[in-house]
Amino acid sequence: MMLSRAAENIFWLARNIERAEANARLLEMGRRMTMLPGSSGRDEWRSVLRASGTMRLVSQDESVTEEVAVNTLLLDEQNHSSIRSSLVLARNNAKAVRTAMTQQMWETLNTGWRDFDGMAPAKASENLESIIESVMIRTATFRGAAEGSMLRNDRYDFLRIGWFLERIDNTLRLLDVKYYILLPESDVVGGGRDYHQWTSLLSAVSAMRAFYHAYESDYAPWRIADFLILNDDFPRSIRYCMGQIAAHLNALGNRYEQKKACQDTADGLLSRLSDLETGEIFQSGLHEFLTEMMSRNAQLSREIAADYNFSG
């Protein structure tokens, strides 16, 4: 048993940390894609922003330069999901539930949360690689601190649920970037450039090696999609994450001896993902599938909030 407000804050703490990391991964992917030949006409950064759901922050007719994208995803205070905002929000979540944090988790969050204050976009763009790396290290350190120091109780369940919900969202978005880029030049599907775009997707989720182990060197789009959506071993795949969410929701249900509606929803989503084949996804349209999963994921999040008396 814990305060609903505390559960809510832990849940959002995990989501905000994961979101910071996801933005770093998006930036990494954009950076790689713009290094591919012929990228100048394609407006990759626009796709990246579109996938991150932040296009509305950028004017329609202006071309989206790296500087604009970096500013939006990394520095922008108006963008509540920029890396900078996510880290500040995560710290606020943690502050609101100081007693539910272990010292180690708190110390990780309390370091460097103001690093981006006053940083100019041009400067950030110049040092993008090292910034992305430092964000990844910071989020990994936090995850390590949580895994290594938290009691395996309901706090831990809520943290992990937040984590994986956000991760599902972000993997879906990453896949969608690819969709947006592919759209105007579907004639080159399977071509050399397409190959590189798909592999930049893998490298954005740090999964080049993992993929190779699972599928060897066959970088066919449907295999990559299969890996990111349905693979049960890859920790960023939709199915794996949903499995974790279902497990933690069921653990909570057992702990509290209360069966909640969100448990059924998560179990249902998981069994659907388990029965699904990549071919079916491509047949009925990847983009449609991604859009539907995003909305189901959001619905699950709302159900969890209602079942555990979150205020927002």
Piece in contact with another protein (CB under 8 A), picked from 80-88, 92-100, 239-247, 284-292:
92-100
**Which residue number, 9 or 125, has a Cβ lying nearer to another protein?**
9
Beta-carbon contacts of 124 under 8 Å, excluding residues fewer than 6 positions away, are 70, 71, 74, 75, 116, 131
Where are the alpha helices (H) located in 57-153, listed in sequence order? 66-70, 83-96, 103-110, 121-126, 128-149
**Which residue number, 98 or 302, has a Cβ lying nearer to another protein?**
98
| Residue 161 identity (one-letter amino acid) | I
What are the phi and psi torsion angles at 39 (to 5°)?
-75, -20
Span 1-40, contacts to another protein by CB under 8 A? 1-7
Alpha carbon distance 301, 163 (integer Å): 11
Give Cα separations from 122 to 51, 60, 77, 127 (angstroms): 22, 21, 16, 9
Interaction between residue 110 and another protein (CB under 8 A): yes
- Could you tell me the smallest distance in angstroms from the CB atom of residue 312 to another protein? 11
Span 242-271, contacts to another protein by CB under 8 A? 252, 256, 258
**Which residue number, 94 or 205, has a Cβ lying nearer to another protein?**
94
Pattern 143-182, another protein, x by CB under 8 A: -----------x---x------------------------
**Which residue number, 112 or 285, has a Cβ lying nearer to another protein?**
112
Spell out the SS3 assignment of 272-295.
HHHHCCHHHHHHHCHHHHHHHHHH
State the number of binding residues for another protein (CB under 8 A): 26
Question: For binding to another protein (CB under 8 A), which residues are involved?
Answer: 1-7, 92, 95-99, 103, 106-107, 110-111, 154, 158, 252, 256, 258, 308-309, 311
